[in-house]
């Protein structure tokens, strides 16, 4: 069996990094278990999710097809509202 020794400062740095990683993992886990309805998305998130243009998303807002919240120039959407929008526009095939 080999014994490796390191200076106490180096050991402390390693432990600090491990604690930082643990905190980040806990944060990511909490984000993952947060219900979709409690998450907020910005314009870019919705554009990527729906694969639409900025103008199309603006049109959805203008015609009240999708609810939003605006703080200054930044626009946010509840993930649950985006999900409702998708479900509302879902076209189920007959005999499928």
Q: pTM for the complete prediction?
A: 0.59
Q: What confidence tier does 4 reach under pLDDT thresholds 50, 70, 90?
A: confident
Domain 39-88 part of CATH 1.10.10: yes
Taking all residues of the chain, what is their mean pLDDT, rounded to a whole number?
A: 90
Domain coordinates in residue numbering, the chain: 7-34, 39-88
Report the DSSP pairing between strands 40-42 and 74-78.
antiparallel
pLDDT digits (tens, 9 = 90+) for 9-24: 999 999 999 999 999 9
- Note the pLDDT of residue 37: 62
Residue with tokens 């409702």: 84
Residue with tokens 């900025």: 54
- For residues 6 and 35, the model is more confident at 6
- pLDDT of 91 > 70? The answer is yes
């Amino acid at each position: 069996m080999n014994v490796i020794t390191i200076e106490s400062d180096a050991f402390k740095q390693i432990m600090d990094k491990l604690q930082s990683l643990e905190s980040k993992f806990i944060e990511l886990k909490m984000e993952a278990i947060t219900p979709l309805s409690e998450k907020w998305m910005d314009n870019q998130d919705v554009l990527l999710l729906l694969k639409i243009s900025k103008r199309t998303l603006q049109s959805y807002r203008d015609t009240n097809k999708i609810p939003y919240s605006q703080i200054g120039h930044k626009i946010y959407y509840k993930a649950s509202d985006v999900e409702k929008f998708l479900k509302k526009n879902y076209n189920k095939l007959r005999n499928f």
